[in-house]
Structure 1
């Protein structure tokens, strides 16, 4: 068979696959997670989203019905090519849901940071970069900057003794912890896109979901947008509702 015919056949076979990959990249999976802290607290609901890149949030009924106390953007809100209109559109929706916090991802640094900070301030988004915020004076959310870029100040993790959730874009940040004398109970991260394109065990990054790193439960989001090509396979885009509950002190 001539090579040209083989190429035509291969192309025709690829069209349905590419169509489905584009369709998956435009879809949205909403997951519900729970984090338990070892003290009595008022239950809080967090919306966690990461890796928006250039994707715009479509205002569906799901978004309209979301009821949360806190919104956390886990990095890569933007990248070099992201337009201001996109950023403002996404922030307008996210900040309407509750007090919004942001930690930087590796691609955020490629968007002019002073300009990004000005937009975040415009929407009253609190930057949780190497900072701690206490919730109801009972527990804390700790944010550190992107570990892979060298901006993370790991000592921030030790600045509170209250039970804490760590938020950092790169899940590998927790691997660098040498001292176990911290109060972390879980970590929220993104960065890997869940592999974005997964063919069995072959993928472009670590699988999303709960895992354990350095004896700490770590949640990796598949992220909301895509990088390089607007394609996904086996790693659907995600947004997460995380319920933080309390228990008896241990």
Structure 2
């Protein structure tokens, strides 16, 4: 009988340890640094930094961590799911005001933003001086040069029925282009990838990554782009090397539990392949 009690206690301890780990991963506050080299990036943009945050959902952003990046970041990009249904707007506003203190902010909608009704969110983003991109382009300038940022809005009515990529001025077709989109499956629409760099979220990296069984809660169509950095070599295209970065996101779906898939933000340093050394 005592052996059974000890065995039960051991199982309970393992279970509690696992739950503790899953909660800890779900509430992790960490910025992942990464460098991305781009063929068409102007040399004046070499060393530029972008803070990428996706899928905040209902979490509160860490004040001390983010304020430590003030003056170290050129732009903040929000790749959708800025909030979700029933999240207090006061919390969302505090998150956005904090990010706006770090650097200029550009955002796109995610599917949960639409489920929460975007009218209040959009008004609040405007009040916080955050530029919402809805299938539109904006020029990012630095040191007398520029790149184009395109924000693709999440389709509110029919999943992944994205419109055509908004056109750049005819004289800008050779200019470096970055796309901000919530759903990484957007890139599958193109046999030839149209942007030098694309940022996305949505997948949460699968959120639960079980040993042997893998990403049990993620649709199979996303398994090959669940999270991380992906590249396509296109020697005959205008964009010779297309890069996609998919973030695991900062928040969580449903229960605050993650396994082998911790929450993250990204601090991206852009590098121009034209810079020697």
TM-score by length of 1: 0.87
Preserved contact between residue 144 and residue 154 of structure 1 (Cα < 8 Å) = no
Preserved contact between residue 210 and residue 217 of structure 1 (Cα < 8 Å) = yes
- Counterpart for residue 162 of structure 2: 152
Preserved contact between residue 175 and residue 214 of structure 1 (Cα < 8 Å) = no
Preserved contact between residue 110 and residue 153 of structure 2 (Cα < 8 Å) = yes
Counterparts of 1:87 and 1:181 in 2: how far apart (Å)?
A: 33
- Is 1:51 aligned with 2:52? no
> Are residues 27 and 181 of structure 1, via their aligned partners in 2, closer, same or farther at CA, if it must alter by over 3 Å?
closer
What secondary structure does 2:111 align onto? coil
* Deviation string, structure 1 residues 81-139 (Cα, Å, up to 9, x no partner): 21111101110111111110101111110112111111111101101120111122521
Counterparts of 2:115 and 2:8 in 1: how far apart (Å)?
A: 39
What secondary structure does 1:31 align onto? strand
Unaligned residue ranges in structure 1 (runs of 5+): none
Counterparts of 2:207 and 2:193 in 1: how far apart (Å)?
A: 35
- Counterpart for residue 274 of structure 2: 248
- Is 1:106 aligned with 2:111? yes
**Counterpart among 214, 228, 234 of residue 209 in structure 1:** 228
Counterparts of 1:42 and 1:219 in 2: how far apart (Å)?
A: 19
* Deviation string, structure 1 residues 15-70 (Cα, Å, up to 9, x no partner): 2111111112111231112233323333321110000000001222x322102111
- Counterpart for residue 201 of structure 2: 190
> Are residues 118 and 151 of structure 1, via their aligned partners in 2, closer, same or farther at CA, if it must alter by over 3 Å?
farther
Counterparts of 2:147 and 2:36 in 1: how far apart (Å)?
A: 12
* Deviation string, structure 1 residues 183-204 (Cα, Å, up to 9, x no partner): x112111011111111135113
Unaligned residue ranges in structure 2 (runs of 5+): 235-241
> Are residues 100 and 181 of structure 1, via their aligned partners in 2, closer, same or farther at CA, if it must alter by over 3 Å?
closer
> Alpha-carbon deviation of 1:222?
0.8
What secondary structure does 2:45 align onto? coil
- Number of residue pairs aligned between Structure 1 and Structure 2: 244
> Are residues 156 and 113 of structure 1, via their aligned partners in 2, closer, same or farther at CA, if it must alter by over 3 Å?
same
Counterparts of 2:44 and 2:61 in 1: how far apart (Å)?
A: 32
> Alpha-carbon deviation of 1:181?
8.0
What secondary structure does 1:56 align onto? coil
What secondary structure does 2:44 align onto? coil
* Deviation string, structure 1 residues 207-234 (Cα, Å, up to 9, x no partner): 3211246963211101001111101111
For residues 1-250 of structure 1, the aligned pairs below 5 Å read 10-37=11-38, 38=40, 39-43=42-46, 44-60=48-64, 62-66=65-69, 67-136=72-141, 137-146=145-154, 149-150=159-160, 152-156=162-166, 161=173, 162-178=175-191, 180=192, 182=194, 184-200=195-211, 201-203=213-215, 204-205=217-218, 206=223, 207-212=226-231, 216-248=242-274
Preserved contact between residue 190 and residue 221 of structure 1 (Cα < 8 Å) = yes
What secondary structure does 2:102 align onto? coil
What secondary structure does 1:124 align onto? coil
C-alpha RMSD of matched pairs (Å): 2.6
